Amino acid sequence: MFFLETLFWFPIRQEVSELSNKLYTTDKIKELFESFEEEGETILLFLKSVNLISIYDTQFQKKFEVQMKGIANEDITDKREYIKNKVTPTAIPTDSIWSQYKAALITWKPEESQTVQEWLIVNHFQGERDMSKTMSTLAHDEELGYAPYVGVAFPLNGVEVNTFRGHVFCFLPLPIEPDGKSMTNLPIHVNGFFALTSNRRHMLWATHDQHESDDNRLVWNKLIISELLSVAYVRLVDVLLDDMAISPEVVYLSLPDGENIDPKWSILLKALYRKVFKLKLFSTENKRRVYFPDALFFIFENEEKFSSNEIKDTLWNVATKYSENVVRLPRHLQNAVVHFEFIPEGTKPTTINAELICRFLHEKPQYESFSTRQKQHILQYLFDNISVDRFQNLRLLPTNDQATCVSLKGALEPVYICLHSEEKMFPLMEWKLVSSIPEDTKRHLIKLAKSGMYVHDILKTLYAISLIFFYCYRVVILTIIFLILCFRYTQCKNL
């Protein structure tokens, strides 16, 4: 009769022997169990046959338990063992083999509520047909004895993705170092048949005085990351995109931040992003998905200036009113889509700039429905970032009556810029006066008025007085005409 469970024997030595003088006291055993519990919540992620791990203090006193199950009671046994059953120890398959599934890791601890963490897991065994020449050579190297096998896992719930720090597995998680150097800072956990150091605690990396070509194990690790993990990662993102229950924001957060990941893992970025940007990845304001060449990314050129974030909000309204393909991305993806090494060959991202905004506004007069403040924002942005002749005919300059906007050139009569509250002396003439505008915009208008090329003038005090006389003269004349008409009307009535 065979015992159907898996037994592990630990040499818990209580007396010094010729083999070792390291002793295990009760306290050390408790520390061992506690350290296991720290990693136990994810220890089953990339294992193929182990479904349940329990730790007991005694035969009946359970201290910790973690179990892997399929979500919604799905039996994932075949999916977990699929690659293992397909691959033979003596040959590499011609075609790549894939396995993907969702799983729940259920963790139990005494005096704590049970936690359920759901994961999307993708495993990949690369076939000959998809290998580079160097990878194929190393995969057949009997001295190395490594298999071209990787896996990736992304948390679907219960984890703050913004603070999640990916870890490295070689089927089991590598030890977590106090300094955090064992973390990749990727938003996923990665598993692979990596070349490890002799104590199996770390991946093997080239030292400062070592070149990776001197050791095939170093080359192997580099290719595992750039060739195998990149395609497994892309498959994971593709699966997330196909799941309608997963929001675009979560999909975006599944992709790495090039500024924060461990520098040794940056070799993954170029291969990953060049592939993932070929997917229908980007979500518009109305939840449509678009490809990279069709997207209008709400990203501004570095040299463009902004007086306030309100201006950006207004430009978002402009972009979404004139285009259905506007895409707003988190900061780490904004950096990625404008990184020339990451974008697919032969493509270029379409981003927001003053030239594009001008073209939008000239094509259709939809901007005229914007509020006065929004038009001020647009005008200020254009003043700061493009020559005046590109927008001089757009009706963006609001006058003091709040209902009239005029263009910088092309109006029938001059519009006056008030510098010292002169507008108070001209009631009923708000449509000809400009004063309720930001100071930055006012400075641009004064400069234009002094140039004499545009239909604006600066309302100076002496000129204001002459305008008052002219205005009063018109009022007097109109009053006299009105009185004469009234007198004649009265005479006619008496007759």
338, HSE (Cβ side, Cα atoms, 13 Å): 16
95 vs 487: which has the higher pLDDT: 95
What is the overall mean pLDDT for the chain? 85
pLDDT at 463 over 60: no
Task: Say which residues have a Cβ less than 8 Å from residue 17's Cβ, sequence separation at least 6.
Answer: none
Tell me the mean pLDDT in the region 100-111: 92
Q: Contact at 8 Å (CB) between 43 and 75? A: no
CB neighbour burial string for 24-58, b if at least 16 within 10 angstroms, e if fewer: eeeeeeeeeeeeebeebbbbbbbebeeeebebeee
Q: Contact at 8 Å (CB) between 77 and 101? A: no
Q: What are phi and psi of 417, to 5 degrees?
A: -95, 120
Which tens digit of pLDDT belongs to each residue from 172-211? 999 877 665 558 999 999 999 999 988 888 898 888 777 7
Task: Indicate the pairing of strand 289-290 with strand 282-283.
Answer: antiparallel
Which tens digit of pLDDT belongs to each residue from 357-381? 999 999 999 999 999 999 999 999 9
Q: What angle in degrees, to the nearest 10, is found between the helix axes of 267-276 and 230-242?
A: 40
Which tens digit of pLDDT belongs to each residue from 267-280? 999 999 999 999 99
Amino acid 461: pLDDT = 40
DSSP state for residue 93 in the 8-state scheme: -
Which tens digit of pLDDT belongs to each residue from 300-359? 976 677 767 899 999 999 999 999 999 999 999 999 999 989 998 889 999 999 999 999
Nearest to 279 by CA among 248, 310, 306, 304: 248
Which tens digit of pLDDT belongs to each residue from 146-168? 999 999 999 998 666 567 889 99
DSSP state for residue 373 in the 8-state scheme: H
Which tens digit of pLDDT belongs to each residue from 17-33? 887 788 878 788 788 88
| Element containing residue 62 per DSSP (H, E) | strand 62-70
Tell me the mean pLDDT in the region 77-102: 93
Amino acid 466: pLDDT = 45
Residues 15, 141: Cα–Cα separation, whole Å: 44
Using the structure block, give the residue that is written with the tokens 């990339």: 46
Tell me the two tokens of residue 201.
């605690």
